[in-house]
Amino acid sequence: MFEKHDAEHPGKFEGGGLVDVQGGFGWSNGVVLDLICRYQIVQKSRTMSPLLLLVAVVSVLSRVSGETQQSCDSKVFCQGNLLHTVQMAQIYNDSKSFVDLKMLHDEATTLRNFEVFFNDTNRNPTREEVRKFVSENFVDYKEFEDWIPPDFTDSPRFLSRIQDEEVKNFAQAIVNIWPTLARKMKQEVLDTPEYFTLIPVEHGFVVPGGRFREFYYWDSYWIIKGLLLNEMYDTVRGMLDNFLSLVDRYGFVPNGSRIYYLNRSQPPLLCLMISLYIQETNDTTWLANNIKLIDKELRFWLDHRVIDVPKDGVVYRMAHYACESGTPRPESYSEDVYTASYFKDEAEKTQLYADLKSAAESGFDFSSRWIINENGTNIGNLSLLHTRKIIPVDLNSFLCQAFVKISEFYVILHDFENARFWFEQANLLKKAIKEVFYNDEDGIWYDWNVELGQQRDYFYPSNFAPLWSGVYDLADAEILGGRAAKYLVDHCITDYDGGIPTSVVQSGEQWDFPAAWPPLQSIVILGLDQSGNCFAKNISRQLAQKWVTANIIGFNATGTMYEKYDALVPGQYGGGGEYGVQAGFGWTNGVVLELINLVLLVKVTLSECNNPIFCQGDLLRVIQMAGIFKDSKTFVDMSLVSTVDWTLRQFDIMMAKTQGSPTKNDVIEFVQNNFQPSHNELENWFPTDYQVSPPFLRKIKNVKVRNIAKHLLDLWPNLGRKIKPEVQQMPFKYSIIPIPNGFIVPGGRFREFYYWDSYWIIKGLLICDMKHTVKGMLDNFFKVVDMHGFIPNGGRIYYLDRSQPPLLTMMVADFVEVSNDVLWLKKNIKYLEKELKFWLTLKTIQIEKDGKTYHMARYRSLSDTPRPESYIEDIHTASRYRTEEEKRHCYTNIRTGAESGWDFSARWFFDKQGGNRGDLSSINPIRIIPVDLNAFLCRSFLIMHSFYTKFRNKERANYWLQKAKEWQRGIKDLLYNEEDGIWYDFDIELRIQRKHFYPSNFAPLWTGTYDPKDTVKLGTNATSYLHKYEIMKYVGGIPTSMVETGEQWDLPNAWAPLQAIIIFGLEKTEVPEAQELAKKLSDRWLQSLIKVTEDTHEFFEKYNAQLHGMYGGGGEYEVQTGFGWTNGVLLELIDHFFVKKKQEDL
C-alpha cells in the first residue's frame, strides 16, 4: 500500500512519481480494510488481483467523498410545476419545442407570473389558457445565426480520388450540405444565457439537423469524421474546444448543449474525436493545453458510471449508463409521464424515469436492448426498461479505447506516470470485456445482465463495438473478425439491402427493427474491416456498398439525408420512436463519406483482396520471386498452419535473421514450417444425381460417338469437389472462397471453380440430367454474389480484383428451361440483378460516334500489382518498362486480360499503329470494346426481361428490355461491319473497329442479339467470312486467331467454348449453308478429340487447330487435362447433332 492517494484521481498515487511515494503504510492498509468491510467487498473479491482490488476500493472512496454529477436546477425548464403544467397541456406536437423557447423575463419573474396564472385558473388551466401563458412569457427565438465555416471547401482532396462518377457526384452533394448545418450562437445567447436553455459556447459547430438544432455529443464523432475528410481542421478544433469547455464547467459532456441535458451524458467519444484530430493535424501544442480536461472527462465515467460486475468468482469494474434523476425528461415530458402511467407506485415511476434517462444517455433511445421482462428476455414495452441493470458492450469498448488513446497522448507529452495509469485501466477493462462479454460459442460479444448474472444473447450492432474499438489481443484479431462475420451471416443480417438493422425485434421503437442507423453501420463495417480477416473484410465491403447504394437511392429520390433508414427498403427513411424522422443529417453524412473513403474510392462494389499473404505484400513478393515452385499458383493455393498475424511475425523474424536477403533455402524452410499443401482444403465429392447411363446416351446411334460420350460421363465424379468443413470454420487460413455445395472443377491446376468455365460444364451436366448438382453450383454462385457483389474469375480470394465473362444469367436460364423451377428463380433473381448491376456500374463506358452516344461494356481490373497466381511471370512481362507507373499500368492490363478469359491473346495487343502485333508487354484490353462481352450482356438483359415477364413484373421487365435494345443498337452500330459481314472489337482510342479474325466476332450470332429480320443476311455473311479465312483447312478445330504469338489464346490453339460459339451461332440462323458448315465444324472437332482421347486417354483444355488429334500448348503453364468445359462442349455437340438431329455418320 502507499502512504497517500490522489482523491480526485482513483488509482493515482499522489506525489512526484512512483519512486517518491512510500509503500507498505499501515494506516493506509487500515483504511482500505475498513472500507472493504463497510462495503462488503471481501466476499466478492477473494480471487481478485491486489491491483484490481485497490482500484475498486479507491473508486468506492471516490464515490463517497467526491462531488456528484452536475444536473440542471432550472425551475422553468428542468423541473417543477411550471414545466409539468405546460408539458402536460401538450400545446406542442413535440415536447422539445417548449424547452427550447427563450424566456421573456428572468426566471424569478417567470415563476411569479406562473404562480399568479396558476392560482387565477384555480390550479387547473385549460389547454388554451396554458398556450396564452406561454405566449406572454416565452418566445420562439432564433438562437443561432447561419455560419459558413471559413475553412469550408467544396473540393476536398478525397473527392478527386473517387473514380465512379455517380458516387463522386453524390459525395460532392454531401460535402455541400456541411455549410447548411453549420451554426453559431448569437451574441445575445452568450451575453444573457439565463434566458435560454442553450449552453453558451464560443465557437461555431455543425448540428445534426431537423429538431436537433444544437450540438449533440456522440453525433459529433461521425460529423467530425466527415469534417476531417473535408479538411475543415479549424472547425473541428473549435467544436472540440466547445466540448472541453463543457467538461471544464460541468465535469463531463452532456447529451446535448441544452441545460435540460445536464442530468446525463452520451457515449463517451470525446477522446476518440480528439485522437482523429491529432492524427490529421499533429497539433500536440493544443493537446498539451487540453490534456487535463480530456483526463477529467474520462474520470467522470470512472467516478460516476463504474460498478462491480461479479462473474465466475471474479469482480470486474465495468461501466453502465446510469442517470439517477427520477423525473420525466423535460424534452419528452408528456411521453415519459405516459410511459410511467403503467405504474401506480411513485417509487416505481421514479425508477422508470431514471432508466428512461439512462437509455437516452446510451444513444439507443429507445430499444428492446434495455428491456428486461419477468423472464429476463428483451420483449416488452418501455415500462420494462431496466437500462441500469445492463452492462453495455459498446460503452465499455469506447471507454477502453479511450483509455488507450489518452495513454498514448500522455506518452506523446512525456507524462509517463499518467500514461501508465491509463494503460493499466485499459488492460483491466480489456480483460473484463473478454471475460464478461465474449461468447465463445457464438463468436460475438453480448451485453451483461447484472441482476441475473448472464449474457443477453441477442443481436445488436453494438455487439461488434470491441472490433471497432480494437479492444482485444492483436493475436486474436483475425479469428475474432472471421467469427463475427460468420455471426452476421448466420443471423441473415447480410440479407438486408437497406442496411444493418438495429435489432431483429420489431418493437415500434426507433432503435429496433427495421431501423438502420448510420453510426451502427460504421461500427460493424469498420470493425470487420480492420480485423484483418479476409472473409470479414469482404463482408464489410459488401455491407458498405449496400449502405452507400441505399443512401444514394434515397438522396436521388428526395434530395435529403435522414437520421435513420429502413433496412428492408434501400433508401427509404426509417420510422418509430417519439418523433418524426429528421433530415439533415450530420452523422449520416459523416458515415457515408467515411465509407466511401474507406472502400469505395475506386469503384462501387469492387471487392479487391487485401490479404497480406495471398494477395499482396512483402511475404508474397519474397516467396514468389524466390521461384521455389514451378507454377506460381502453387504457393497461393497453400493454407496457413497458424493465423495471418503469426505467419507475418515468423516472416519478419526470418527477414531479420537474414538481414532482408533470405536464400532460396531460407524461403523453402519458411514455407515448409508455416504452410500446408493445397489438398487440405478440398475433398473429393461424388454427385448424388450422377447416372451411369442417362437417357440421352441410349439415343446415340453411332457407336464411336456413344463410347466417347460414355467416357465423358465417367469423368464427372472425378472432377467433383467440396470445400472441407475446416475451411468454413477458419477461412482466414485459406485462399479458397468458402461455398456450401459440391461443384465440378475444370481439372489440372484449376482445382477451384471458375466462372465462365462453369457455363459449359453446366451445359454438359444438364444434358446428363444432373439438375441437383447444377442447382447447387448456381446456389454457390448466388452466395458469392451476395458476399462480393459479383462472381470473381475463380474461387480464390486473389481473384477478387476481377470477374470473367458474365454468363450467370445464361446458366440460370438453361437450368430453369430444364427444371422449370420457377419458385427457385423468383427467390434468387435478386442475385442476377446484383451481378448485372456490377457490370453496368463498373464496366461500362460512354462512346460517341456519328453524333450518337452509346453505353458499352469493357473488361477492366483496377488493381495495379502482379497477379498473385502468376507473380513472377508478371514481373518478367513488366520488366521492359522503366518507371513504376508504366509497370503498374502493365499489371492492370494483364489482370484485365485475365478477366476476359482470353489470357492471353494478340486480341488485346497494340502496336504503334493500333494493330495487334506485339507481345504481352503491349497488352491493353482496357482500350477495347469486346464483341463477346457485350453480346453476353445483351443476351442476359433479354433473359431478365423474359423472367420478369413470367413474374408479371412489368416495371422490371421493361427496364431490362430497354437495356437490351440499347445494347443491341450499340452492337450493331459500333461493332458490325457491313462490308466484311461480321462484328469486330472496337478501339476506344482510335474510334475504329479492329478488323482481325477471332471466334469472339461471332458472339452476337450465338446470343441472338440482333434484329430477327436480319437473320438470313447475318448467317450468310458469317458463313462467307469463315470461308474467306479457309476455316476448313484447320483440321484440329477453329483457331483462336490467325496470329502466332506463343500465347495460348492465339494460333494454333483451338478452344472448346469458341467452337461452340461459332457452331451454334451458325446453327441457330437456320440458313442452310450456315448449318451445313456448322455440321462440318462439329464433325471435325469430334473426330479430332476422339483421336486425341484414343491416344492419351485424356481430355484437354485446348487443342492444336493445325494438327488432327493433338492437344494445344503455349501460355504461362503446361496444358491441363480434365477438362470441364471441353467435356461440356462435346456433350452439347453430341446431344444436338446425334440425339436431337439424329445424326448417325461421323
Rounded CA separation 37/43 (Å): 10
Cβ burial, residue 116 (10 Å; 0-12/13-18/19+):
exposed
Residues 258-283: tens digit of each pLDDT = 999 999 999 999 999 999 999 999 99
The per-residue pLDDT for 576 is 67
List pLDDT tens digits, range 383-440.
999 999 999 999 999 999 999 999 999 999 999 999 999 999 999 999 999 999 999 9
The letter for the amino acid at 142 is K
What's the confidence (pLDDT) of residue 584? 76
Mean pLDDT over 838-867 rounds to: 90
**Range 278-299 average pLDDT:** 97
Residue 605 has pLDDT above 60, yes or no: no
Q: Is the pLDDT confidence value at 1067 over 70?
A: yes
Task: Please state which of the ranges 529-533, 803-807, 1026-1030 shows the lowest mean pLDDT.
Answer: 529-533
Could you tell me which residues are beta bridge partners of residue 736? 796
Choosing from 295, 365, 566, 873, which is the catalytic residue? 365
pLDDT tens column, 753-771: 999 999 999 999 999 999 9
pLDDT at 643: 85
Question: Can you give the pLDDT at residue 579?
Answer: 58
Task: Indicate whether 597 pLDDT > 90.
Answer: no
pLDDT tens-digit map of 620-676: 999 999 999 999 999 999 999 998 888 998 999 999 999 999 999 999 999 999 999
- Helix or strand (DSSP H, E) at 992: strand 992-994
How much is the pLDDT for 58?
36
pLDDT at residue 533, as a whole number: 82
578 has pLDDT over 80 = no
- Quote the pLDDT of residue 600: 54
- pLDDT given for residue 59 in this prediction: 36
CB-based contacts of 224, cutoff 8 Å, min separation 6: 236, 239, 240, 273, 276, 277, 590
What is the pLDDT averaged over residues 288-298?
98
pLDDT in tens, 1080-1107: 999 999 999 999 999 998 999 999 999 9
Helix ranges (H only) for 39-164 are 50-65, 81-89, 96-99, 107-120, 127-137, 157-160
Determine the average pLDDT of the residues in 1018-1031: 97
State residue 313's pLDDT score: 95
For residues 225 and 596, is the Cβ–Cβ distance under 8 A?
no
pLDDT of residue 475: 84
**Per-residue pLDDT tens over the stretch 363-383:** 999 999 999 999 999 999 999
Residue with cell 437509455: 359
pLDDT in the model for residue 557? 83
Place of cell 431490362: 960
Chain segment 479-525, per-residue pLDDT in tens: 999 999 999 988 889 888 899 999 999 999 999 999 999 999 999 99
Over residues 217-228, the pLDDT tens digits come to 999 999 999 999
Which is more confidently placed, 495 or 901?
901
Quote the pLDDT of residue 410. 96
What is the tens place of the pLDDT at every residue in 1104-1129?
999 999 999 887 667 677 888 999 99
- pLDDT confidence tier of residue 536, bands split at 50, 70 and 90: confident
Residue 128 is a catalytic residue = no
Per DSSP bridges, beta strands 306-311 and 985-987 are unpaired
Q: Is 530 exposed, middle or buried (CB count within 10 Å of its CB: 0-12, 13-18, 19+)?
A: middle
Query: How many other C-beta atoms lie within 10 A of the C-beta of residue 152?
Result: 19
Q: Which class is domain 682-863+931-1140?
A: mainly alpha
In this structure, of 562-566, 862-866, 1100-1104, the range with the lowest mean pLDDT score is 862-866
Tell me what pLDDT residue 656 has.
93
Which of the residues 143, 394, 442, 563 is marked catalytic?
Answer: 563
Record the pTM: 0.58
Determine the pLDDT at residue 71. Answer: 73
Mean pLDDT of the chain: 90
Cβ atoms of 596 and 856 within 8 Å: the answer is: no
pLDDT at 72: 87
pLDDT at 963: 96
Q: In the predicted model, is pLDDT for residue 930 greater than 80?
A: yes
Eight-state DSSP code of residue 431: H
For the chain, residues classed under CATH 1.50.10.10 are 682-863+931-1140
Q: Look up residue 179 and give its three cell numbers.
A: 455549410
Query: Over 70: is that where the pLDDT of 44 sits?
Result: no
Mean pLDDT calculated for residue range 1046-1072:
97
The answer to whether residue 22 scores a pLDDT higher than 90 is no
Give catalytic status of residue 165 as yes or no: no
Let me know the angle formed at the C-alpha of 379 by 373 and 385, rounded to the nearest 5 degrees.
55
The tens digit of pLDDT for each residue in 224-240 reads 999 999 999 999 999 99
Task: Look up residue 151 and give its DSSP letter.
Answer: T
Range 338-366 average pLDDT: 96
How large a percentage of the chain has pLDDT more than 70?
92
pLDDT at 29 over 60: no
Percent of the chain with pLDDT over 90: 79
Q: Is the pLDDT of residue 53 over 50?
A: no
**Amino acid (1-letter code) at residue 196:** F
pLDDT, position 167: 87
Is 50 exceeded by the pLDDT of residue 442? yes
> Residue 1053 in contact with residue 1002, Cβ under 8 Å?
no
pLDDT at 577: 64
- pLDDT at residue 40 in the model: 31
